Amino acid sequence: MYDKQSPFAVTSGPRRRDSLSEAAHATLQAAIIDCQLPPGSIVSEAELSTRFAYGLATVRAAIMRLSAAGWIAPDGRRGSTILPVSAAHLGDLIASRVCLEPALLQHAPPSGLSDELRLRATIYRTSTRQAQAPNQQALLHQERALMLLVAQVIAAPRMRGWLIDTWALCLRADRHMDQVFGISRDPLPLAGLAIALADGDGPPALQILEQMRHAFDLRVARALSRSATALGTAQTPGQPLHRGTASAAAVRSGKSTRTRSAKGDSA
């Protein structure tokens, strides 16, 4: 009898390709969030293939997924442009959070997820308290992992995916504002949020969400006030990845003629 679970089954090949594609997508997305691929920079398939040790076809598939989600925009023969961090993009993130985050309060999580939320919240709280000067890259990884789990409280898959995307881009914006303007922040109060949601305690969860949004709004306002320096910049053809400069007017208006935000609006 033909065994589909056998390692010799003919479906093992596509599963391998799928796993490589998923891994490449996750790697590139993490590099964008951490600003290893800076906002507004131009990258090529060959460059990404060499840098992250994936084949060209695998990188191309990952770029197509990221492009469909608005994280990368095709830029002709030059390659692809990483979504810039502009005033319009930041405003879109703020508005998206106001719309999406209340969905976390609509349903109590199932018991299995509640237990996982409490466990991960304890680990997160312990690790952030013990680290007097936490490594920012490690902190970002911990925050993103807990955010992914918290988002599972939302039953609707599409809305859950939108919130995950929005939160990830907010983490990137924070990383970028820290690198460019020195606007740092403390670890996000995700442990309290996770425990409140696990307990089905709406008011404390709502309060934490509002505090997080308000703090993000203030950091964005500080960054926009320093308009002499670009939030996210384009790259000159032929130059290596770097952070350049753009006009103050472009930062104030948030205009971009090439790339689009995660929601498809001009960023």
- Residue 16 CA to residue 39 CA, distance in Å, equals 31
What does the pLDDT average to over 219-247? 57
- pLDDT for 233 beyond 60: no
Q: What is the pLDDT of residues 169-183, one digit of tens each?
A: 999 999 999 999 999
Give the tens place of pLDDT for each residue, 98-151.
Answer: 999 999 999 889 889 999 999 999 999 998 887 666 677 888 999 999 999 999
Of the pLDDT bands very low, low, confident and very high (cuts 50, 70, 90), residue 228 is: low
Cα separation values, 118 from 109, 139, 149, 189, 252, Å: 12, 19, 11, 14, 42
* Residue 106 DSSP symbol: S
Q: What is the mean pLDDT of residues 40-65?
A: 95
Distance (Å, whole) CA 243 – CA 226:
16
Render pLDDT for 247-262 as a digit per residue (tens, 0 to 9).
333 333 444 434 344 4
- Model pTM? 0.79
Contacts of residue 246, Cβ cutoff 8 Å, sequence gap at least 6:
230, 233, 234
- 8 A C-beta contact, residue 39 and residue 80: no
Q: Are strands 42-43 and 80-82 parallel, antiparallel or unpaired?
A: antiparallel
Strand partners, 72: 82
- 197-214 burial, b at 16+ Cβ within 10 Å, e below that, comes to bbeeeeeebbebbeebbe
Quote the pLDDT of residue 15: 52
Backbone angles phi, psi at 156, to 5 degrees: -75, 120
Where helices occur in 182-259 by DSSP H, the ranges are 190-198, 202-225, 248-253
pLDDT of amino acid 260:
40
Please report the pLDDT score of residue 16 as a whole number. 57
pLDDT greater than 50 at residue 184: yes
Q: Is the pLDDT of residue 73 over 60?
A: yes
pLDDT at position 128 is 86
Q: Kindly report the average pLDDT of the chain as a whole number.
A: 83
Which three-class secondary structure state does DSSP give residue 135? coil
What distance in Å separates the CA atoms of residue 48 and residue 45, rounded to the nearest whole number?
Answer: 5
For 102-111, 161-170, 219-228, which range has the lowest pLDDT when averaged over its residues?
A: 219-228
How confident is the model at residue 131, as a pLDDT?
65
Give the tokens for residue 98. 């106001």
Total Cβ atoms within 10 A of residue 184: 11
Residue 72 phi/psi, 5-degree rounding, is -135, 145
Mean predicted confidence (pLDDT) in 188-208:
96
